[in-house]
Chain A
Amino acid sequence: MQPVLEVRDLTKAYGSFRAVDRVSFDLSKGQILGLLGPNGAGKTTTIQMLVGITLPDAGSIHYFGMDLRRHREACLERVNFSSSYNMLQGRISVWENLVVFARLYRVDKPEHKIRDLCGYFGITHLLSQVFKVLSSGERTRVNLVKALLNDPEVVLMDEPTASLDPDIADRTLSLIESLRQSRDLAIVYTSHEMDEVTRICDEVIFLDHGRIVAQDTPARLTKRILHSQVRVRFEGQRGQVLRALNGRFAAVAVPHENVVVVTTEEHLIPQAIFDISNAGVRIVDIDIEKPTLEDVFLQIARGDGRVS
């Protein structure tokens, strides 16, 4: 099946700074693709090129098999965008804003469509309010309504939950998940929230200095970090524990008198616990920390190079 979005060797430089450097990826129908990376990694520039407001220096963007530059109108009629940073016109009402956008997308029966979507997102009561007086959460939901007005097949979401409180962010994510399922939406999603990305993205691209440094499913990416940590609190002699663990694991640390932290490969964690329990001490607490997407992110952000 042809991807709904094909990006090939996308490149953008500002002077000597390469903001995006030969980035290529595909997006399939119904897929959520996460774009992650530290500040300045090239996520926002990539999104800006994907919606045509910044022109690439090189490379191509094809939506539904059509070149964005040559068929801008036909592409953008089937694409939409939502960002916590882009506002609607602040001086006019939510209803007026949405009517304008519905007409820009040449939506049939726009009033009906707006009421349907506002009902879905629970913001019908906001329709008469001026946009600039809305809270962050309300603005996000209005932006999401705007992003769905044209029944898009691809939605680009640039940190849609930024500045939302956890409850609203969670509800927004649930809405995105249900939209993907009910409409088979393809979504490009940027966020700094690793938990969000792990939760909703099928595939993640890590950008660093404009380049793709890792691309995989969240689960497989975290498995690329080999070591997990097990933190064991015990009652008994510390020396006996250290002797039992000596030299068998990647790292052993004793941050407190009765706490030992063992860093090791995930499959050796049961062995570490077994060894501690056989050291003649009583285990009172075990805490296992498996690698998360955040660890992958930090590894990249700290310049530890390519994730293997």
Chain B
Amino acid sequence: MAVAVSVSRIAAVLLQEVYITLRSVEVIVDLPVWSLVTVMVFGFVTLFLSRVMNPIFAQYLYMGTLLWEIIRVAQYSMSLSALWNVWSRNLTNMFITPLSMPEYIVAQMISGAIKAVVLFGLVALIALFVFGLNLFALGLPNLALLFVNLLCFAYSIGLIILGIILRLGTRIQALAWGLVLVFQPLTAAYYPLDVMPPALQSVARTLPPTYVFEAARASLSEPRVHWEFMAIAAVQNALYFGLAVWFFAFMYRRSRQTGQFARNEE
């Protein structure tokens, strides 16, 4: 079965995203407002901690918080986009047009990436000008690699959550907000990997963001691309993304086989 991808239909989904984003107080609160609150709160915490400890450790915390925003924003965008339409009983309407699920997912990935770029850029600038943490000093190629790897992980988690929602319905919609938080302590976002107990370190090493955060911390003192971490993150991300696509395709097919896809809006 050939799947023809239409740029026009991807653009249509993106256009709907723009309309929904501009008209939804919830999205504005969940994305820019929450990002701004995070950058401010942890900025002040970093200023305080810098006075009482080695500032580099306070910066680990702050940088981890800012980089985590990439995962949060992109995953939120991927998972919630379908829910906005399910809640409006409009998702099935969209899929009785020629729109295919791959086109829809590509549109959501683009939307997530744009939101993550804009919001991460914003918090990085605030961190620089208000709190003196210059993430751009890590080097733009390095920062871009960190960004892409975290984005890729967010896509994988977003796809898995979306697949579960399509298959099981909105009764587990809280996963769209909550599941990603499970990975926060496990990926050593705010602290070096070696402070974790050995068992948890083993778990952490199976997650791509762990290597991204390790690379970012290493870059603070030595600004360059730390390929020893980034290569592992990239390989793991490729694996995770492949598995997520397979899982999503399986859940979407099962959702249509069981009739759940149509029942989600009843």
Interface residues of A (CB under 8 A from B): 12, 14, 19, 44-45, 48, 51-55, 69-70, 72-74, 76-77, 79-81, 85-93, 96, 99-101, 103-106, 130-132, 146
How many residue pairs at the A-B interface have CB separations less than 8 Å? 112
Contact of A88 among B90, B256, B259 (CB under 8 A): B90
Residues of B close to A130: CB separation below 8 A: 23
Asked if A103 and B12 make an inter-chain contact with CB atoms under 8 angstroms apart, the answer reads yes
A130-B23 Cα distance, complex, nearest whole Å: 10
- Given A48-B262, A52-B95, A104-B99, verify A87-B90 contact (CB < 8 Å): yes
Chain B: which residue is nearest A143 at the CB level?
Answer: B93
A69 to B6 Cα, complex, angstroms: 18
Q: Is the CB of A51 within 8 A of B259?
A: no
Determine how close the nearest CB of chain A comes to the CB of B80; give it in whole angstroms: 12
Within 8 Å CB of B88, what residues of A? 87-91, 131-132
CB distance from B147 to the nearest CB of A (A): 29
Kindly state whether residue B221 has any CB partner on chain A within 8 Å. Answer: no
Do B8 and A103 touch across chains, with their CB atoms under 8 A apart?
yes
Does B19 contact A86, Cβ atoms closer than 8 Å? no
Residue on A nearest B25 in the bound complex, by CB: A91
- Which residues of B line the A interface, CB within 8 A? 1, 4, 6, 8-9, 11-13, 15-16, 19-20, 23-24, 84-85, 87-90, 92-100, 253, 256-259, 261-262, 265-266
Closest CB in chain A relative to B261 CB, distance in Å: 6
A-chain residues with CB within 8 Å of residue B8 when the two chains form the complex: 103, 106
Cα–Cα, bound, A52→B20 (Å): 26
A80, B96: Cα distance in complex, Å:
7
Please determine whether B90 and A86 come into contact, CB atoms closer than 8 angstroms: yes
Give 14 pairs: A residue, B residue, CB < 8 Å, sorted on A.
Answer: A14-B258, A44-B262, A54-B261, A70-B1, A72-B100, A73-B100, A85-B89, A86-B93, A89-B90, A99-B15, A103-B12, A104-B94, A105-B97, A146-B93
